[in-house]
A and B are shown apart, each in its own frame.
Chain A
Amino acid sequence: MKNKLIVNFSPHLHKDESVSKIMWMVVLSLLPVGAAGVFIFGLSALRVILLGVVSAVAAEGILQGITKRKITVFDGSAIITGLLLAYNLPPKVPFWFPIIGSFFAIAIGKQIFGGLGQNIFNPALVGRVFLMASWPKYMTTFIAPQNYDAVTSATPLALLKEGKLLEKFSYLDLFLGKRGGCIGEVCILALILGAVFLLLKGYISWHIPVTYIATTGVFAYIFGLKGLFTGDWLFHILTGGLILGAFFMATDYVTSPLTRKGQIIFGIGCGLITAIIRLWGGYPEGASYAILMMNAATPIIDRFTRNRIYGAR
């Protein structure tokens, strides 16, 4: 007779959730962002998104086939990686750009470590940083939004860095995505929509995103251009990849701390690094580097914020 006693980790609650269901929900929550990106930047954005997703799924299948692991291309995680990578790219990049990025993200960011759940860095960000380090020219060539009448080519943060932020963006424009930028980072409204869905469903908790965004905002406010406590904090929150990163990439289950306390430390760390890179660093935007650095710190955070077992000292 087979042993029927199943020993498993706590909590011993059964819920109608599975990894792949949550992944598909995240995909669903990301769709409005993509739609907004395509609406703002035109069909070239759609091409980038499709190529990114298809090649991420292909890369996952090919690599799992080569390494003779179970092929799990339909659990949605590769699709998320492809989507997030494409959202982190400018809308007009050469066709091979999202393909190479997705392959690198899946191969080096994920499968090398052993697949879903084993990776230490967020795969999509690994792909993005690889592309940024390899072909900075394509990664920083932005186009103007097409369905609005604004004419901008650089991102607001890049203009700020170069000291060329002459015409002030209105907060409403920034909120709706009327600016140059990456496909998925411009339309804050769509991002918030997806994020609220995930928060209400309980798939992500508020701890990382809220502390992350708040820390960046506070820091930007304290160290303003005209002196202490004069910074334009709302501008810093609404521009760059902060919202996309905070809600959809910093909250990745695999690469962020497990406990609430750890998540708060993680969020504050991300916020600090993002603000420091933006204010004094060499790049105009630092969200992706901030999240990757804190990913590296996650095991340490987890070690020092372990929950006390009830009854133990």
Chain B
Amino acid sequence: MKKYFQEFFKGIIRENPTFVLVLGLCPTLAVSLSVINGIGMGIAATFVLLGSNVIISLIRNIVPDRIRIPCFIVVIATFVTIVEMTMKAYSPVLDRALGIYVPLIVVNCIVLGRAEAYAQKAAVLNSFFDGLGMGIGFTLALILISAIREFLGAGKILGHTLIKGFTPAFMFSMPSGALLVIGLLLGFFNLLKERK
């Protein structure tokens, strides 16, 4: 049991996909405009990660090595399609806000990275917890980045104004602000790691 906990927790801090592995930055940059988008993207990616990790771990012994990447992509694309259709049906607003970045989860480097680096070599349960941990780590990173950006760029958190009279700095709503916030957070986490 302890082993599974380790697999689960490593994705959240020690091997956080955004701040330590520095994977999947394009959706992070693009959708971290508001916390709700960040949560939506995070949940979508977590679901895909979980599904693809489990399935790829199950088929890992029957997939020939030379065509493994196309096989993985097909598995991942299946889950992405499920997510996309569900989102279109039940949350069209979020679907519109995330736009092209939901179908693009297919080529998200976190998902393929975990399939390639972990799930194709590990047992099913391990892969399950790895996918869950990585997904939650990604979601938490997105929430952190988008909370900073939404607060500074729009003066709000989850759509609620926090401080009256605070004039938001529009730059944080722009791509340059996303790069700046992610860069500073990366530096900050590296500093913490060095101190340890």
Contacts and interface: CB of A to CB of B under 8 A. Distances in A.
Q: Do A and B come from one complex?
A: yes
Nearest to A132: B171
Interface in B170-184: 170-172, 174, 176, 180
A228 to B, nearest CB: 36
B20 interface: no
Contact residue range for chain B?
10 to 19
A135 B172 CA distance: 11
Given A133-B170, A133-B174, 16 more contacts: A100-B169, A108-B180, A112-B187, A130-B169, A130-B171, A133-B171, A133-B176, A134-B168, A134-B169, A134-B170, A134-B171, A134-B172, A135-B167, A135-B169, A135-B170, A136-B170
Residue of B168, B169, B174, B187 contacting most chain A CB atoms (<10 Å): B169
Interface in B143-192: 167-172, 174, 176, 180, 187
Contacts of B168: 134
18 contacts: A100-B169, A108-B180, A112-B187, A130-B169, A130-B171, A133-B170, A133-B171, A133-B174, A133-B176, A134-B168, A134-B169, A134-B170, A134-B171, A134-B172, A135-B167, A135-B169, A135-B170, A136-B170
Interface string A123-134: 000000010011
Nearest to B174: A133
A214 to B, nearest CB: 31
Contacts of A133: 170-171, 174, 176
B194 to A, nearest CB: 13
A63 to B, nearest CB: 13
Contacts of A136: 170
B192 to A, nearest CB: 15
Contacts of A100: 169
A255 B142 CA distance: 34
Contacts of B172: 134
A63 B20 CA distance: 26
A136 B176 CA distance: 15
Contacts of A112: 187
B150 to A, nearest CB: 15
Interface in A125-150: 130, 133-136
Contacts of B180: 108
A134 B176 CA distance: 11
Interface in B50-85: none
B177 to A, nearest CB: 8
A243 B176 CA distance: 28
Contacts of A135: 167, 169-170
Contacts of B171: 130, 133-134
A108 B168 CA distance: 18
Residue of A100, A134, A136 contacting most chain B CB atoms (<10 Å): A134
A133 B170 CA distance: 6
Nearest to A130: B171
Nearest to A108: B180
Residue of B167, B172, B174 contacting most chain A CB atoms (<10 Å): B167
A136 B172 CA distance: 13
